[in-house]
Amino acid sequence: MIYLVEHFYSIQGEGKYVGTPSLFFRFGGCNMKCEGFGCIEKTDDGTEVLGCDTVYAVSKEHFSKNWASIENAQELLNVLNLYELPEAVDIVLTGGEPLIYANDPIFIKFLEVLVENGHNITFETNGSLNVDFDEYPVYRECFFALSVKLSNSHEPLSKRVRGDTIYNIASNAKDAFFKFSIDAESINLGLEEELSEILQHSPKTKVYCMPLGGNKEEVELNTEPLIEFCKVKGYNFSDRLHIRIWDINKGV
């Protein structure tokens, strides 16, 4: 079963394609929890759930009653008719972790139609779930923002860094880049070694570093130290435009 949490038309707020008008599909469910990010979301009954800034799209147990169950590809394609969109608008598939649906026939059909119609598709993925590029060649036409999780996520290393998966995606996708969420504290706590451990699996893939934070204040606090880090290392700094502009508001 595919779960769709929300869709919205906005600009891409982070990473290589920042500023590009994009139609976002946020899928429900993830293979991680990332409680280290320390964001708290309340359920309808007031239960506080700890996780990342999209915990409402991660925890099936607590939030899935607000998610839409998708029965066929056309339901997803119909979303494009709900907006006034430019021709072949960019599509961003995010979550949660959209690649938990990577082998689902409904999902594959959805991707195939989008590619046939000339859309660029970017996956925002944690880069830990493999993609079968031979079985599903449509993935060769897609872009992948590899947001591989660092130790600040509190996920175990063996789960969050899958070298074979990173290499496979970076080698076969139409485009791929690394995108990391970094807080000021981590910069002084062995961040360089952590990044090297990940980047060795695809050394030529570009790196974008974004300030960690689930709200505007946290993002602002982490921004300047991160810019200094990027200047030293030669990585690209990526803002988190949507948080800076719309703060904690969802669906923008």
Q: Which residues bind ligand SF4 (CB under 6 A)?
A: 30, 32-34, 51-52, 54, 58, 95-97, 126, 149, 153
CB of 30 to ligand SF4, least distance (A): 3
CA distances from 61 to 47, 49, 54, 224 (A): 12, 10, 14, 37
Of 32 and 76, which has the nearer Cβ to ligand SF4?
Answer: 32
Q: How far is the CB of 190 from ligand SF4 (least distance, A)?
A: 20
Distance CA 24, CA 83 (A): 11
How many residues in total does the chain contain? 252
> What is the closest distance, in whole angstroms, from the C-beta atom of residue 161 to ligand SF4 in the complex?
12
* Distance between CA atoms of residues 36 and 154, nearest Å: 5
* Of residues 32 and 131, the one with the C-beta less far from ligand SF4: 32
The structure tokens listed for 6 are 């929300």
Least Cβ distance, residue 232 to ligand SF4 (angstroms): 26
User: Residue 16 CB, nearest distance to ligand SF4 (Å)?
Assistant: 18
Closest CA to 87 of 117, 59, 122, 54: 117
Our CB check for ligand SF4 shows the closer of 7 and 109 to be 7
CB of 149 to ligand SF4, least distance (A): 6
Q: Which 3 state secondary structure label does DSSP give 235? A: coil
Instruction: Pick the closer one to ligand SF4 by CB: 73 or 195.
Output: 195
Q: Which of 14, 208, 206, 25 is nearest to 121 (CA)?
A: 25
**Rounded CA gap, 240 and 178, in Å?**
15
Q: What angle do CA 213, 246, 124 make, to 5 degrees?
A: 60
